[in-house]
Amino acid sequence: MKTKTILLSMASFIVYSQFSLAQVITSGGNGSDPPIQKVRVETDEVSFCEDEEEKAVIRFNGQDLVIDNNEANGDTYLAAELDVTVTARNNAIITGNDNVYLATGPNLGTTRLFINTDGEVGIGTTNPATKLHVIGGTDVNASVGGYLQLGSSSSANLSFDTNEIQARSNGAASSLFLQNGGGLLDIGGDTDIDGELTLRSNGGTFKLRTAPPGSATGDLQFVGDGTTHMSIDDENGFVGIGTSNPAVKLNITGGSDAEPDNENGYLQLGPIDSQNVVMDDNEIMARNNGAGADLSIQREGGNLLLCGTEDGSVGIGVLNSNNIPAGYLLAVDGRIIAEEVRVELSGNWPDYVFEEGYDLPCIDELAHFIDENGHLPGIPSAKEIEERGLNMGDMQKRMIEKIEELSLYIIQIEKRIKDLEN
């Protein structure tokens, strides 16, 4: 028979209550007599004595169960160099096969606690895989349940099951603190989060802080596969997507050119399979399920201001700014239709033609200019219009000037006719 020395602290080894030699009885070996004291020991040969070191000894068939008082630390130990079962009602501590069992129930059929030769403790299992291995618990919730509980059920306690940690206090959910005193919190083995990180719930508002007030700041980054996908600057609150150095409140980089199909752009508002607006680094496009759609600007009211400082131009039907002539605020490559066009000139309107002293060319001078140039004076030629286009406001002004000059010529002719008639 294998033997093993077992040391059990009497503080944790309580068979039913403290016992003395006077509480231990023996039977004749058939194990049929009921116990009349708190402990019953059944064997063929039992004796009580003291060994040479003055330790109390219960001897079973020549093997010793020793009760030893250690004066050095005041603890009392029960040591046995034998295979023995100590029974109290339906409970027993059993040693044998180099292991220790705590069994309960009828015929000691349920092993509650098991200790193997490596010192691994199993609760609910006789095959512990770690120093403490617990199975057979229940799902933990805010009030009860779990596999392991630290603390009293009537006050603050921490409970664990196979995939959950729950802080509780007297049957209600409570705050869970991690590294509250400082130090690193290592999650997943790859990311170190220092002690300045706190997760708080304040009046229903969830807060994520990268540094407590008054301490050094630190950016909050969301990293996947070694790449920073989103960053929040702790100092100014700037958010970067695709960049860890955002320059404005929301800075997005790494997108693609916006197209009518659905999988491109930098920012999209709306679902892919219906109406949405997509933006890239220089374009805004309305789409509807993969096709171009109408884009409304200020549809419900309000002014739309473009190039308000006149430092720039607006192009319609123009692919790039190189096709906008210099000095113009609006360039349209195509036809325009409108119910009304109003042009306001900053210069004088040609009413100066009717003012006294206006130098109206004589008919002969006008005829000579037309003969040499093929167009009216002050009016651009066909070649000039072809090369530089038509300035509508200026042309309207020039046309009124010629109409007013023509009116003066008609008046002069009318006077000459009347003079001839008289």
Would you give the DSSP letter of residue 91? E
Q: Please state, as a whole number, how many other Cβ atoms lie within 10 Å of the Cβ of residue 71.
A: 7
Structure tokens at 293: 């759609």
pLDDT by position in tens, the chain (length 422): 333 333 333 333 333 333 333 333 333 333 445 544 444 455 555 555 555 555 555 555 455 555 544 444 444 444 444 444 555 445 566 665 678 888 877 766 788 898 998 999 999 999 999 999 999 999 999 999 999 999 999 999 999 999 999 999 999 999 888 877 777 666 665 555 554 444 444 455 555 666 555 555 677 888 777 788 888 888 888 999 999 889 999 999 999 999 988 789 999 999 989 999 999 999 999 999 989 999 999 989 999 989 888 889 999 999 888 888 888 898 999 999 999 888 776 667 888 899 999 999 999 999 999 999 999 999 999 999 998 888 888 888 899 999 999 999 999 999 999 999 88
Angstrom distance (rounded) from CA 386 to CA 384 = 5
Contacts of 28 (CB under 8 A, 6+ apart): none
Burial state string for 196-231 with b = 16 or more CB within 10 A and e = fewer than 16: ebeeeeeeeeeeeebbeeeeeebbeeeeeeeebebb
Give the C-alpha separation, 338 to 353, whole Å: 31
Q: Which residue has the tokens 């020395």?
A: 5
Beta bridge partners of 7: 79
Q: What is the pLDDT of residues 327-370, one digit of tens each?
A: 889 899 999 999 988 877 666 788 889 999 999 999 999 999 99
CB 249 within 8 A of CB 238: yes
Query: Count of CB atoms within 10 A of residue 194's CB?
Result: 13
Phi-psi region of 98 (alpha: psi -120 to 50; beta: other; left: phi over 0): left
Buried b (16+ CB within 10 A) or exposed e, 46-58: beeeeeeeeebbb
Cα-Cα-Cα-Cα dihedral sign, residues 381, 382, 383, 389 = positive
pTM, 2 dp: 0.46
Distance CA 395, CA 402 (A): 10
* Per-residue exposure over 92-103, b if at least 16 CB sit within 10 Å of its own CB, e if not: bbbbeeeebbbb
The answer to whether 92 touches 86, Cβ cutoff 8 Å, is: yes
pLDDT tens digits along 90-117 = 556 666 567 888 887 776 678 889 899 8
SS3 202: strand
275-287 core/surface letters (b: 16 or more CB in 10 A; e: else): ebbbbbeeeebbb
Tokens of 361: 């060319």
Which H/E stretch holds residue 316?
A: strand 314-316
174 close to 167: Cβ distance less than 8 angstroms? yes
Residues 136, 124 contacting (CB under 8 angstroms): yes
Contact predicate 46/26, CB 8 Å: yes
Give backbone dihedrals phi and psi of 165, rounded to 5 degrees, phi first.
-120, 125
> CB–CB of 171/153 below 8 Å?
yes
